Amino acid sequence: MLNVLTSKAKDPSEQFVAEKRRKGEGNLDWLARNLETLAGEEGAKGSAYLALFGGKEKADFRLRVAQGHIRHDMSPSHFSHVVLLRASGPSKGGSLWEISLEPDGGFGYPPSDNGVQAGSLKSYESANQYPNLAVMRLPVKLRELQRTLKDFKKQRADQDCVELILVWLAYVWGVGRASNPLLDGKGIPSATFIEALVASSGYDLTPGLASRSSCPEAIWQAAKWWQDFYTADQREPIRGMWHLQHFLG
């Protein structure tokens, strides 16, 4: 079992709320609408934004099930992937940074950039393929993460995401006797990458984990249940919206 801490909060955060899709609204429209709301709030200028997705394909299914060990009832996570937006607020291009296990253009040569990929929200446009989604505004400036990103790509000795890609592909593809990497303290690459960037700014993105087993589920729980932790530490809680319509288990 993983060493997971439980939040003492009795109620979910009022800063991270459900926001249903409107009739006929796709993922890009939902994200644009809620990003506009978040970016218009006081103190939002220059903030960093994350987007979480929960997919239905085979790889997404495996990732969601693997994260059940983070949940108190062992049910699969609602989410399989997390990305960092390259703009502070809504943007036409929807460009992002990520470490995907199924990148649109293939992996290329991951060691060159520690597995980090440049992508687009268009890859996650389908509400059918990615029925669950969330958007988060972090109390961290995007420019700080951009500076850290340059070093992250070159410093595999600190956090080797190339290794994580291989370990998780082996698990997702069912290679040999590959077991759940989270149980060995190896986080899902997409979340491990972003957590490392955010930690450099002094913000704990997954306070419920006592190890480096970062994953989208832990980020989701931080936004929904760890608001008192951030307030006690004199930090602003994560602000955002979410929509769920696909459940496993």
pLDDT digit string, tens, across residues 8-23: 899 999 999 999 999 9
Two structure tokens written together for 18: 């459900």
Residue type, 164: L
Confidence at residue 229, expressed as pLDDT on a 0 to 100 scale: 94
Handedness of CA 143, 144, 145, 146 (dihedral sign): positive
CA atoms of 190 and 77, how far apart (whole Å): 15
pLDDT score recorded for residue 125 = 96
pLDDT of residue 4: 86
Q: Is 86 helix (H, G, I), strand (E, B) or coil?
A: coil
Residue 4 is classified by DSSP as B
The CB-side HSE value for 42 (13 A sphere, CA atoms) comes to 1
Structure-token match 């690459």, residue found: 189
Residues 39 and 88: beta-carbon distance below 8 Å:
yes
Nearest-angstrom CA–CA distance, 134 and 114: 26
Main-chain phi, psi angles of 177, to 5 degrees: -105, 30
Listed as ranges, residues in the chain with pLDDT below 70 are 1, 210-211
pLDDT of residue 1: 65
Distance CA 195, CA 217 (A): 12
Residue 74 CA to residue 213 CA, distance in Å, equals 16
pLDDT tens string 114-170 = 999 999 999 999 999 999 999 999 999 999 999 999 999 998 988 999 999 999 999
According to the model, what pLDDT value does residue 118 have?
A: 96
Q: Which residues contact 176 (CB under 8 A, 6 or more apart)?
A: 170
